[in-house]
Chains A and B, each alone.
Chain A
Amino acid sequence: MNQKKKLAVVGAGMVAHRLVEAMVERGADEAWDIEVFGDETRPPYDRVALTSFFSDRDPEDLLLGDGELWKRPGVRLYRGSIVSGIDREAKQIHARNTTFDYDRLVLATGSYATVPPVEGSDLPGCFVYRTVDDVAELRAWVLDREAVLGRKVKGAVVGGGLLGLEAAGALTALGADTTVVEFADWLMPLQVDQAGGGALRRIIEQLGVSVRTSTATSKLRAGRDGKVSRMQFADGDRIPADVVVFATGVRPRDELAREAGLELGERGGVIADEACLTSDDSIFAIGEVAHIAGRVWGLVGPGYSMAEVVADRLLGGDATFEGADLSTKLKLLGVDVASFGDAFAATNGSLEVVYADPTAGVYKKLVMSDDAQTLLGGMLVGDASAYTNLRPMVGRALGSDPTAWLLPEGMEPPSGSSLPDEANVCSCNNVTAGTIRGAVTDHQCTDIAAVKQCTKAGTSCGSCVSLVKKLMETQMAEEGLEVSTALCEHFSVTRAQLFDIVRVSEISTFSELIDKHGTGRGCDICRPVVASILASLGKGHVLEGENATLQDTNDHVMANLQKDGTYSVVPRIPGGEVTPAGLIAIGQVASDFGLYTKITGGQRIDLFGARIEQLPEIWQRLVDAGFESGHAYGKSLRTVKSCVGQSWCRYGVQDSTTLAIDLELRYRGLRSPHKLKLAVSGCARECAEARGKDVGIVATDKGWNLYVGGNGGFTPRHAQLFAEDLSTEELVQAIDRFLMYYIRTADRLQRTAPWLEAIEGGIDAVRAVVFEDSLGIAADLDAAMAAHVDTYEDEWAATLADEKKLLRFASFVNAPETPDPDLVYVEERGQRRPADDEERAVLIAGASIPVRDAEVTV
């Protein structure tokens, strides 16, 4: 075997991720072993989207890629591992108390956030805004201060640039009264001119954020509790501040390079040439730490280009980085701001075309060449809808009347087909219009997801997605292809249409349906959808007869598939209330079967590592102890989370736990387009986090407030207020109708939030259906829910009572009770978990395995 070379990458941020991805895409991992060291505890994540963390987002959702990258042989990610030194002589780096050899080294250490030398800037309550940990701490701080102080938190953000306004938006969203303090004479001085900054200020002030420009912060003072409480300015003025965010800029993290004697830029940054090589020709620098072509590049797009250059160079190519597009488009506090090209009209003789509407809070400027023909750049504040179309036109003739681009109802912008092939559409990932057209013509992409995957366009900041879509659709029309809303290749209709077909027809099986309304044998998309529709309409249980062949393995065996092919089992614990005896019973089952146990976010207990042939035995034990299926596997109701409420809590105004239990028992087993989560809080303090759920209920002294359309996950949303002060009876009826209407009309895998956005008339129309019966279907919806409640039965118990169904739990048809011989476990913190590849190799080579479960042998 020929020796692979070693590549070490210091820093596991966005650009490092792109580098590894680019290497793997080009097959460079055949020739290189790649080791990546990151001092953050998380794998690389989308820093650009950091602010979205505040809308209740799970940090997991920010992670870049699907994680497969780090599992590839030859690729290794060391998280939480700071690199403390580079020995250029020995070609080694120091990390994890040891040394690692390299043939080539890549510095991708990014930047750190700077804090100005202001007295008191280290007080508790002062934050920067750079990492997930930063924002998580900030969020916890604001929520905690609000609870302790019993009033709105006062927030101050130092710095009125891009980051500062993002931070101000985040603080405002957390419910803080926020002031932005900017040293320059206007906001976002690096992106917009004074007039643009003025427009921005007016809009932001209308949103309730105070703005102080031309102001220097001089001191921060603590209150009696030692936490920050006041901010003082150079002009003597001061404001209260319970939380302070510094967003005054970033500096390259070049300390390793400095100690190693690499050449640095005057204001920091590791100097590198157009090949991204530093003054040591075994060491590259990329991303925000690199100083190339005379400057550092503080955006992710140029960093990605550098990563591509290094990947190419490592494979013997000669790609170069010569600078990049610094255009930006942002939505800050809901306000559009964009600048592109020569936004400050620095080009000799350039002309500016300005359109401003102060009442509407709009300021737009185009910078044109001296003959007013060629677009050089521009800035848009308040309405940046023209950005996506304008930016690719930089350096091109705009046509007869440039001003037409700026008017609100301006000239029709160039249609998708008139953009030249070489126009750069996605500046984050450097994708041209031609590449997107090629995805349709040469790679048979016919939907936006396929185009994004094929070209990477629109996968970073996302601002170009609408243009990408338009280009794709125009190209598809030119090729004579239809733009499709089909469920999949087998059904040409949407899920909602299919639902109606099944509802009004006599059809009650998949084979009938696909015979009459589809083609082929179906697939892993349409089969589960049809199963769910049939179940929602009461046309046969999800596991009866032919329906059983439509189910994903999770639904099929009523447990959740895990990475090693075993399952996890979650008994229902309605409202999160469980007796000590119940807990002991669950514990005993887990202990007898050697299951790994973990408490879930939905207030119940997950038991991992059950082999398929063990499932019936495990259920039997749980059913005997009074438990039933928790439907953790289904696109169905998961849990109704609750706080302890009035019965114990000194603040509670209603009995939230009892309501949660009643609701969970009412909706258990209800099949829906996606999982459904509910929660009930016993007072406005909202300890159950009900506003992060599809249906959230918050007690008031007069009854219940109902919120709908919240979720965590990929695109987290806060639920919106649907109705106030309902009695319990009114509440239950409203939820019945809301859920049934959603189940009937939503698309596959569409949660309630996007459904509310997509449905005609939005939340108001749904409210009218639920409370005013605007469509005349309320009785129908009520009846459908009543039927569900009446026919519910526990799927586990029903399966245990059915000899035939039990057959599916055989591990092998010809050896029904033989465990999968390839399972290998190791012990960690007193429980077992699947062995990783390395541990497997060792264990299979013969050593004994340190597990308690005697059944598991190798």
Chain B
Amino acid sequence: MTAWERVCELDALVPDRGAAALIGGHQVALFRLSDTGEVHAVDHLDPFSQANVMARGLVGSRKGVPTVASPMHKQSFDLRTGKCLDDPEVSLQVWPARVTDGWVEIQVDARSSAA
């Protein structure tokens, strides 16, 4: 069973800038990319610094891969898979995200895969 939860209107997300969201007690970082229009959702918790800051990182690309860099110590993560590109051992949890009727929705039960 998949449950999609509405988080915010798409317009609330500034293209190429992240925003944090609180979903069922979990802190999620949302990113809306200007070129592809895609929305990505990953952990807001930076696994390196243990601070909730990922949504405040800069988006960019590395060899074509869309990335976000931790604002704390600048490690880059693949926005699609959550994998850290500077340390293959580390990754962010990724949530399926979509836009419906101008609303950003996150698939919530996917969270259980984090456990």
Contacts and interface: CB of A to CB of B under 8 A. Distances in A.
Interface string A544-558: 000011111110110
Interface string A102-146: 000000000000000000000000000000000000000000000
A561 B22 contact: no
Given A527-B60, A561-B56, A812-B22, A820 B13 contact: no
Contacts of B30: 813
A814 interface: yes
B99 interface: no
A522 interface: yes
A339 B92 CA distance: 51
Interface in B22-65: 22-23, 25, 27, 30, 33-35, 45, 49, 51-53, 56-64
Nearest to B9: A813
A742 to B, nearest CB: 25
A814 B12 CA distance: 10
Contacts of B60: 490, 520-524, 526-527
Nearest to A566: B51
Contacts of A520: 60-62, 64
Contacts of A524: 57-58, 60, 69, 74, 76
Interface string A576-612: 0000000000000000000000000000000000001
B97 interface: no
B24 to A, nearest CB: 11
B17 A549 contact: yes
A523 B35 contact: no
A726 interface: no
B56 A553 contact: yes
Contacts of B61: 490, 520-523
B27 A553 contact: no
B51 A564 contact: yes
Interface residues of A, number: 37
A810 interface: yes
Contacts of B108: none
Nearest to A810: B19
Contacts of B51: 563-565
B34 A511 contact: yes
A504 B17 CA distance: 29
Contacts of A489: 62-63
Contact of B14 (A526, A548, A811): A548
B14 A814 contact: no
Contacts of B45: 822
A549 B19 contact: no
Given A812-B20, A813-B20, A815-B22, A820 B52 contact: yes
Contacts of B49: 563, 565
A553 B53 contact: yes
B66 A813 contact: no
A328 to B, nearest CB: 35
B26 to A, nearest CB: 10
Interface string A23-39: 00000000000000000
A561 B20 contact: no
Nearest to B36: A521
Contact of A813 (B13, B25, B58, B71): B13
A527 B35 CA distance: 15
A258 interface: no
Interface in A318-363: none
B88 to A, nearest CB: 14
B52 A549 contact: no
A813 B12 contact: yes
A808 interface: yes
A103 B109 CA distance: 46
A523 B69 contact: yes
A549 B15 contact: yes
A421 to B, nearest CB: 28
B110 interface: no
A635 to B, nearest CB: 14
A612 B20 CA distance: 11
Given A564-B51, A808-B14, A822-B52, A552 B58 contact: yes
B17 A812 contact: no
B3 to A, nearest CB: 16
Given A521-B59, A563-B51, A565-B52, A548 B72 contact: no
Interface in A514-536: 520-524, 526-528
Given A523-B61, A553-B57, A561-B53, A814 B69 contact: no
A814 B35 contact: no
A78 B38 CA distance: 48
B52 A553 contact: no
A819 to B, nearest CB: 11
A811 B22 CA distance: 9
A549 B14 contact: yes
Interface in A135-160: none
B56 A556 contact: yes
A810 B19 CA distance: 8
A84 interface: no
Which residue of A524, A815, A818 has the most chain B CB atoms within 10 A of its CB atom? A524
A553 B69 contact: no
Contact of B72 (A561, A808, A811): A561
A198 B63 CA distance: 58
Given A521-B35, A813-B13, A552 B71 contact: yes
A548 B61 CA distance: 17
A548 B15 CA distance: 10
B90 interface: no
Contacts of A557: 56
B8 A814 contact: yes
A813 B17 contact: no
Contacts of A822: 27, 45, 52
Contact of B27 (A548, A551, A552, A820): A820
B6 to A, nearest CB: 9
A561 B53 CA distance: 9
Contacts of B34: 511, 549
A561 B52 CA distance: 11
Contacts of A807: 12
A7 to B, nearest CB: 23
A168 to B, nearest CB: 40
Given A523-B58, A561-B71, A813-B7, A818 B22 contact: yes
B62 to A, nearest CB: 7
Which residue of B15, B16, B69, B74 has the most chain A CB atoms within 10 A of its CB atom? B16
A385 B37 CA distance: 56
A342 B57 CA distance: 55
Nearest to A815: B22
B17 to A, nearest CB: 5
B72 A814 contact: no
A511 B8 CA distance: 26
A548 B27 CA distance: 23
Nearest to A840: B50
A521 B66 contact: yes
Contacts of A564: 51
Contacts of A812: 19-22, 27
Contacts of B12: 807, 813
B49 to A, nearest CB: 6
24 contacts: A490-B60, A490-B61, A520-B62, A521-B59, A521-B66, A523-B61, A523-B62, A523-B69, A523-B76, A524-B58, A549-B16, A550-B58, A552-B58, A554-B71, A561-B56, A807-B12, A812-B19, A812-B21, A814-B7, A814-B8, A818-B22, A820-B52, A822-B27, A822-B45
Interface of A: 489-490, 511, 520-524, 526-528, 548-554, 556-557, 561, 563-565, 612, 807-808, 810-815, 818, 820-822
The 10 closest A-B pairs by CB, nearest first: A523-B60, A565-B51, A521-B61, A553-B56, A524-B69, A549-B16, A520-B61, A553-B71, A813-B8, A524-B58
Given A524-B69, A814-B22, A815-B22, 16 more contacts: A520-B62, A523-B67, A524-B58, A527-B58, A527-B60, A550-B58, A552-B58, A553-B53, A553-B71, A557-B56, A561-B56, A565-B49, A565-B53, A812-B21, A813-B7, A814-B7
